[in-house]
Structure 1
Amino acid sequence: MIVHQYLLWAKTVSEAERARGLGLLAGLYARGELRGAERLGFEAALPVLAQDPFAPARLALVEALCRQPGLPEDLAQLLAGLDGEPGLIMLARSPVLNDCDLVEFAEAGDEPRRAAIAARAHLTAPVAAALAEIAGEEACLSLVTNPGVDLPGFSLGRIVARHGQAAALREVLLARRDLPANVHQALIRAVANALSVFVVERGRRAAGTEAGGETAPAAAAEGTGERPGIAMIGRSAPDLRAFAAGLKQRGELTPAVALRALLAGHMRMFLEMAAELTGLPTDRVAALAADRSGDAFRLLYDRIGLPCGAYIAFRSALQLVQKEAYLDDEDAAAGLQKRIAEAALQQYARLGEPAGRNPVVALLERWRHEAPLDPRTATLAA
């Protein structure tokens, strides 16, 4: 068999020749020139071949296979897990890796891996949402500059909330013609905040401030109780997660609470509540909620244990915030609660469900006329 012959030959040649030979062998597989037992033999030997100690040999192997749609999924996962450039190439190019694979690699990986995933030619909303929750500035920059990404509105807002202080990312976002008005305003506030920090710091240096004195970022945030950047853009995730955890500990984290948070447009609060209720990481919850087909969210919905009669309300709310650039709780638009409630009520009306038969409809009718909810208060329950 050709694979056996290669293994015998590889022991007698230089590393450079072995790398070239491995690339040629993988190319035969990718082009379908290995058939039957030879193809199966190559797949069986691939875990060994992928551990070649010569880095260019591993790279040649991956370059030949990274675009191969017929590669078994477990082997694609194996190659994507390789260290260095070979693994990054597989993450960036392999059509075999599905959304679950990519989210798992993003969770477990470092920033170069996340940036490779963010640069894929076609990136779905669930993967983009997961990256928006955990990726650093470099990967998020790749995400917002990738023309092939399906980026949900609330995930765009999440990127701004987490990295609005990054000048390079602000510059790219402000150059986008499709940038929603509320995102543009948040970025302008971030620029103003960065300038104020710069001015204060220059002033302190000019005045000869001692090195051990109050820092410029602390001075810029004085009176706000928030960290610089966060004060002008949105609340920090740990605070919201701690708040959701506190509600759960007190037995107050109910389906009605989660529904109220989402219907009020507080997507970030809803994600943290769902993470507490399911035990899943927040980025995984965001990925499930970003699925535009609704199938993945249905799994999340059932895992949370939400009532059947409220599904339409949740789904209607998600469809709206998937389109809008949600900017965390402080930046929720005043009219968002009313628009979400009206969209959900229209869905219930098509099904002929009056308020008397479905209590969720009655709640929507009431919430449509109320002021938006403050997520920091304990009056979340219906």
Structure 2
Amino acid sequence: MTLRQFLLSTQTASAERRAEAAAALGRAYCHGNLAPEAAWEAKTALLALLDDGSALVRRALAEACAASPSAPRPLIVALASDQPEIACLVLARSPVLMDADLVDCAAIGCETTRSAIAGRADITMPVAAALAEVAGAPSLIVLARNGYAKVGIAALLRIVERHGDDARLREALLARPGIGIEVRHALAARVAEALSSFGLASGWLSRERGDRVHREARDCAALSLSDEAGEAGLARLVSHVRAQGQLNAGLILRAILTLRMPFAEAALADLSGLSRARVAGLMFEPRGAGFSALHRRAGLPSLLLPAIQAALSAWREAATGGAEIEGARLARRMIERALTACEDMPFAESRSLMALLARFEAEAAREEARQHARSLADEPEREQMLRIEADDRRSAGFLPEAVAIPAMPSADETAVSDRISRVLDELPEAIITSYRAEQERRQAETTDAVLDGLSDALMASFLASREPVPDQGKAPAVELVTAAEETTQVPMLVAVPSREPVAQDGPDLVESLISESIMASYRTDRLRMAA
């Protein structure tokens, strides 16, 4: 069919037949090996079908060409600007669209098309930044849940700034790996703001108290994040907090009084421009002139200097071993020292500071009570775990996995026997019985192997020696001790190394298992045969 015939047939056919023909033509162009002239005619026909008034035809084109990298770019761009149910097919899957196309569609599209763009597997940072600027919360939730999307820290912060009050969006962002400590702090601040607003709307808090709760919760979140930030993350957190205008004297004082010294060092270093190592050294000498200069250079109020010096002095005493306290107790002592240092100051100047320190003291007392309560609650569980471990050790003692018996010299047989007896006394009876049975079996196999290797004459002489002999006989009776009796009398642990040549140990085994009379008879027979 020629191009003209195809176009003429689409003018008289129904919408369903035109949709079927459009889908077949799209698949033939994208997946068939058409000749250049036929491919040009098919492309022209596909572009002509964009003017079809039926959405079924355009949808069929989108379904046939959406995932193909060889689809005509003008066709895909036109379909991306079509109705949302048609545009979403190509916006979500088409590899033909470039970042500029996606950014333009995000800017002029609706939330449905933006959600389709946000769900693509190849979202780049420019496209994510564009979505962060114009998209709504539903589209941004799809973007946050897209693990393949590359979203920068700046875009994430912009998302939190625009739609941080949406709980589903905050949850999706927190579940996303690698969002950065700055984004986590921004989310914590928005949660604190939401809780404060809820309390204010419910009539539980006044506006002033709500603002204080918001501020203190935000500061506590920053200090909690600093505990697991690391060196690089801590520097980024301090820079972010300062950029947000939240790195103030109250936050630094809270960090010192809650023993978050790394955060205090990083904050003072960022404010003063000194190195963190230099700041740490000055903080360890709080009464010196260097720390006073650091305090002024960081821009902190002079009213805080006596309180901070007193708190750092208590911390230094504990660090150098002068006071054997730590944790919440040390924090409370530091706060008490700070309060004592503020008593000599004018009340009008120190009123707000005394109130702040009093709140810190109450928080430290509550934290100490929580730690004590947790320790008391965990004590029965620890005792139960210790009892279970003790029972397991006792149970394991009856069935040891291995018993290591040290090698003993054979020079002093009495000492060897005593040491073996002590080892055997410590072993369970079941192991002793099993060991004796194994030894009897091994000794029987060794005896049979030695006897099978002897000559017929020697065996005949050996069997004759076992028969009863009259008293006047020359050959004395052979008194044999069975392997079981011998093992019962002298229990020994014998380590037999595996050696292939048996003939090397033959004479020793013969002399140990056969009596002297038999050996003398055997030697006599051998001499007679040799003669």
Relative to the length of structure 2, the TM-score reads: 0.39
1:45-95 deviation per Cα after TM superposition (whole angstroms, max 9, x unaligned) = 333312322222211101111122123433321221112211121111111
Distance 1:131 1:111 in 2: 10
- In the alignment, is residue 108 of structure 1 matched against residue 108 of structure 2? yes
Distance 1:146 1:58 in 2: 28
Q: Structure 1's 328 and 118: CA in aligned 2 closer, same or farther, altered over 3 A?
A: farther
> Which amino acid letter does the alignment assign opposite residue 244 of structure 2?
E
- In the alignment, is residue 4 of structure 1 matched against residue 23 of structure 2? no
Q: Is the 8 Å Cα contact of residues 155 and 326 (structure 1) preserved in structure 2?
A: no
1:133-160 deviation per Cα after TM superposition (whole angstroms, max 9, x unaligned) = 2211112111111111111111111111
Question: What are the residue-to-residue correspondences of 1:250-269 with 2, within 5 Å?
Answer: none
Distance 1:26 1:51 in 2: 15
> Which amino acid letter does the alignment assign opposite residue 127 of structure 2?
V
1:218-259 deviation per Cα after TM superposition (whole angstroms, max 9, x unaligned) = 9699879xxx9xxx8xxxxxxxxxxxxxxxxxxxxxxxxxxx
> Which amino acid letter does the alignment assign opposite residue 144 of structure 1?
A
> Which residue number in structure 1 is paired with residue 16 of structure 2?
16
> Which residue number in structure 1 is paired with residue 118 of structure 2?
118
Q: Is the 8 Å Cα contact of residues 145 and 176 (structure 2) preserved in structure 1?
A: no
- In the alignment, is residue 330 of structure 1 matched against residue 226 of structure 2? no
Greater RCO (CA < 8 Å, at least 6 residues apart): 1
Q: Structure 1's 90 and 326: CA in aligned 2 closer, same or farther, altered over 3 A?
A: farther
Q: Structure 1's 100 and 332: CA in aligned 2 closer, same or farther, altered over 3 A?
A: farther
Distance 2:208 2:85 in 1: 41
Q: Structure 1's 86 and 33: CA in aligned 2 closer, same or farther, altered over 3 A?
A: farther
> Which residue number in structure 2 is paired with residue 45 of structure 1?
45
Q: Structure 1's 328 and 175: CA in aligned 2 closer, same or farther, altered over 3 A?
A: farther
RMSD of the TM alignment (CA)? 4.0
> Which amino acid letter does the alignment assign opposite residue 26 of structure 1?
G
More helix by share: 2
Shift of 1:328: 10
What 5-or-longer segments of structure 1 have no aligned partner?
Answer: 205-215, 233-319, 343-369, 373-382
1:289-336 deviation per Cα after TM superposition (whole angstroms, max 9, x unaligned) = xxxxxxxxxxxxxxxxxxxxxxxxxxxxxxx99xx997994179877x
> Which residue number in structure 1 is paired with residue 200 of structure 2?
200
2:51 is paired with a residue whose SS is: coil
Q: Structure 1's 332 and 23: CA in aligned 2 closer, same or farther, altered over 3 A?
A: farther
> Which amino acid letter does the alignment assign opposite residue 330 of structure 1?
Q
Distance 2:56 2:210 in 1: 54
Q: Is the 8 Å Cα contact of residues 144 and 176 (structure 2) preserved in structure 1?
A: no
Q: Structure 1's 124 and 57: CA in aligned 2 closer, same or farther, altered over 3 A?
A: same
- Alignment length (residue pairs): 239
> Which amino acid letter does the alignment assign opposite residue 16 of structure 2?
A
2:148 is paired with a residue whose SS is: coil
Q: Is the 8 Å Cα contact of residues 19 and 57 (structure 1) preserved in structure 2?
A: yes
Identity fraction in percent: 37
Q: Is the 8 Å Cα contact of residues 47 and 75 (structure 2) preserved in structure 1?
A: yes
Q: Structure 1's 107 and 163: CA in aligned 2 closer, same or farther, altered over 3 A?
A: same
Distance 1:157 1:34 in 2: 50
Distance 2:25 2:209 in 1: 60
1:178 is paired with a residue whose SS is: coil
1:319-362 deviation per Cα after TM superposition (whole angstroms, max 9, x unaligned) = x99xx997994179877x96xx99xxxxxxxxxxxxxxxxxxxx
Shift of 1:199: 2.8
Q: Is the 8 Å Cα contact of residues 132 and 155 (structure 1) preserved in structure 2?
A: yes
Distance 2:172 2:84 in 1: 28
Relative to the length of structure 1, the TM-score reads: 0.53
1:203 is paired with a residue whose SS is: coil
Distance 2:239 2:10 in 1: 55
Distance 1:327 1:61 in 2: 52
> Which residue number in structure 2 is paired with residue 35 of structure 1?
35
> Which residue number in structure 1 is paired with residue 397 of structure 2?
none
The structure that has the greater radius of gyration is 2
Question: What are the residue-to-residue correspondences of 1:105-254 with 2, within 5 Å?
Answer: 105-203=105-203
- In the alignment, is residue 26 of structure 1 matched against residue 26 of structure 2? yes
Distance 1:143 1:221 in 2: 36
Distance 1:220 1:20 in 2: 68
What 5-or-longer segments of structure 2 have no aligned partner?
Answer: 219-234, 248-265, 275-296, 300-531
1:91 is paired with a residue whose SS is: helix
2:161 is paired with a residue whose SS is: helix
Q: Is the 8 Å Cα contact of residues 197 and 220 (structure 1) preserved in structure 2?
A: no
Q: Which runs of 4+ in 1 moved over 6 A?
A: 220-224, 324-328, 331-335
Q: Structure 1's 21 and 44: CA in aligned 2 closer, same or farther, altered over 3 A?
A: closer
Distance 1:86 1:157 in 2: 32
Distance 2:27 2:63 in 1: 9
1:80-111 deviation per Cα after TM superposition (whole angstroms, max 9, x unaligned) = 11122111211111111111221122222222
1:147 is paired with a residue whose SS is: coil
